């Protein structure tokens, strides 16, 4: 659990190390491609397209905050939508600067929401996780549509087929495994408690009975949300619209350097490259740039230096700009709590 400032010293140290590792990864990748060629491409870019990408990223977060609003409303949480937008931006900051993303971000923001008794920690976490799980549906659909478009209308180079196939399997396996842990919760709970029982005998802070009780309460709240079909439909609608705004900056980054990236290909590239966000760096920094550039070289195709420039511009609009504006929201939330 975070301390009263939101991040303890150990977390801050991990974030610092993660950013340092990411910078080194990007530098080495750029060194292989040639930083002189990358910088030359960036120097000729039309940054009005990047500015539009920043606006698209902002719209994405505003729409996804509405998905949160729909889910939390089922839990009878009376938080005005305008206030929830600020909270969602703060949550995004926590996701983007915390190693392993959602693993650290969701508990942090659930903790922040519970500090002024607007909602209990368990209800907050259940609502946030449910909204994020529903966000996996467009992730899966868009990557599947993009993959189908590649198979039917495009041509995947032989050297890139193992990469595309492997990423597609992961894109399908991740949401299915998450759904499986919910659908077969008893088996998941049994396995988890069996694994943790030996740990509990050595570590006082691990209480298997308490973990089992919290899981039961957590799933009960998710069931409560899932019973409202209308809310699920509207939440999915907001999730899909948010994903379109999330993917648009990649298309705009291509336009900035005079490269047309097929929108159907964008639908595949953005969610699949986002899988690199599971890397132990804040927000997948470094990993997403490298994976995205490699995919564009293989599938668009384009020069490595151009692909690297597009990937960097995309991350400026979809990550670094978001870090800047969501950081202000995060510090406000910490101060308010």
pLDDT of residue 134: 76
pLDDT of residue 10: 63
CA separation, residue 148 to residues 151, 155, 229, 315 (Å) = 5, 11, 29, 26
Q: Residues 335, 5: contact at Cβ < 8 Å?
A: no
User: HEC string of 93-123?
Assistant: HHHHHCECCHHHHHHHHHHHHHCCCCCCHHH
Q: Please give the average per-residue pLDDT across 306-314, as a whole number.
A: 92
pLDDT digits (tens, 9 = 90+) for 284-307: 676 788 888 888 888 877 888 899
pLDDT of residue 229: 76
Q: Classify residue 169: in a domain, yes or no.
A: yes
**Helix, strand or coil, per DSSP, at residue 5:** coil
Q: Classify residue 3: in a domain, yes or no.
A: no
Range name among 60-64, 156-160, 171-175 with the lowest pLDDT average: 156-160
pLDDT of residue 6: 47
89 C-beta neighbours (distance < 10 Å), count: 22
pLDDT of residue 316: 92
- Higher-pLDDT residue of 138, 208: 138
- Residue 206 burial by Cβ neighbours in a 10 Å radius (0-12, 13-18, 19+): middle
pLDDT of residue 16: 63
pLDDT of residue 325: 94
120: cis peptide before it, omega within 30°?
A: no
- Determine what percent of the chain is predicted with pLDDT higher than 90: 19
**3: confidence class by pLDDT, cuts 50, 70, 90:** very low
Q: What is the DSSP string of 170-217?
A: HHHHHHHHHHHHHHTHHHHHHHHHHHHHHHHTT-TT--HHHHHHHHHH
- Higher-pLDDT residue of 72, 237: 237
User: HEC string of 13-69?
Assistant: HHHHHHHHHHHHHHHHHHHHHCHHHHHHHHHCCCHHHHHHHHHHHHHHHHHHHHHHH
Q: Residues 222, 130: contact at Cβ < 8 Å?
A: yes
Q: Please give the average per-residue pLDDT across 166-191, as a whole number.
A: 73
Q: Classify residue 2: in a domain, yes or no.
A: no
Q: Classify residue 4: in a domain, yes or no.
A: no
Helix-helix angle 208-226:229-256, to 10 degrees: 90
pLDDT of residue 189: 76
Range name among 7-11, 118-122, 269-273, 325-329 with the lowest pLDDT average: 7-11
pLDDT of residue 50: 96
How high does pLDDT run on average in the chain?
77
CA angle 326, 13, 7 (to 5 degrees): 50
pLDDT of residue 62: 95
pLDDT of residue 272: 78
pLDDT digits (tens, 9 = 90+) for 93-112: 888 887 655 555 667 667 76
Query: Between the ranges 54-58, 163-167, 223-227, where is the mean pLDDT highest?
Result: 54-58
Domain with 262, as residue range(s), is: 9-336
Q: Residues 124, 110: contact at Cβ < 8 Å?
A: yes
Q: Classify residue 300: in a domain, yes or no.
A: yes
Q: Classify residue 1: in a domain, yes or no.
A: no
pLDDT of residue 246: 93
CA separation, residue 239 to residues 38, 109, 319 (Å) = 34, 19, 18
| In the predicted structure, residue 248 carries a pLDDT above the cut 90 | yes
| In the predicted structure, residue 225 carries a pLDDT above the cut 70 | no
Q: Please give the average per-residue pLDDT across 249-269, as a whole number.
A: 91
Strand partners, 97: none
pLDDT of residue 170: 65
Number of domains making up the chain: 1
Range name among 202-216, 235-249, 252-266 with the lowest pLDDT average: 202-216
Q: Please give the average per-residue pLDDT across 221-235, as a whole number.
A: 75
- Determine what percent of the chain is predicted with pLDDT higher than 70: 66
């Amino acid at each position: 659990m975070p301390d009263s400032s939101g991040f303890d010293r150990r977390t801050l140290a991990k974030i610092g190390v993660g950013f340092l590792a990411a910078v080194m990864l990007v530098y080495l990748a750029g060194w292989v491609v040639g930083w002189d060629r990358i910088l030359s491409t960036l120097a000729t870019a039309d940054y009005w397209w990047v500015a539009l990408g920043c606006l698209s990223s902002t719209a994405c977060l505003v729409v996804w905050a509405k998905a949160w609003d729909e889910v939390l409303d089922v839990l009878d949480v009376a938080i005005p939508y305008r206030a929830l937008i600020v909270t969602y931006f703060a949550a995004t900051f926590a996701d983007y600067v915390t190693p392993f993303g959602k693993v650290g971000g969701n508990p942090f923001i659930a903790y922040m929401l519970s500090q002024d008794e607007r909602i209990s920690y368990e209800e907050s976490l259940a609502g946030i996780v449910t909204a994020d799980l529903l966000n996996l549906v467009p992730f899966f659909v868009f990557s599947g549509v993009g993959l189908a478009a590649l198979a039917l209308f495009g041509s995947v180079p032989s050297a890139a087929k193992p990469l595309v196939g492997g990423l597609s399997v992961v894109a399908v396996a991740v949401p299915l495994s998450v759904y499986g842990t919910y659908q077969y919760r008893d088996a998941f709970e049994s396995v988890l408690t069996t694994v943790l029982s030996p740990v509990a005998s050595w570590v006082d802070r691990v209480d298997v009975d308490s973990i089992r009780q919290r899981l039961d309460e957590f799933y009960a709240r998710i069931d409560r949300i899932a019973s409202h079909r209308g809310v699920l439909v509207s939440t999915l609608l907001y999730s899909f619209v948010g994903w379109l705004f999330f993917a648009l900056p990649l298309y705009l980054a291509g336009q900035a350097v005079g490269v047309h990236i097929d929108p159907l290909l964008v639908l595949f590239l953005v969610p699949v490259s986002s899988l690199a966000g599971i890397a132990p760096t804040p927000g997948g920094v470094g990993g997403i740039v490298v994976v995205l550039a490699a995919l564009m070289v293989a599938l668009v195709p384009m020069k490595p230096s151009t692909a690297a420039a597009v990937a960097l511009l995309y991350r400026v609009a979809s990550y670094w700009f978001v870090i800047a504006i969501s950081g202000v929201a995060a510090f406000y939330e910490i101060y308010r709590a």
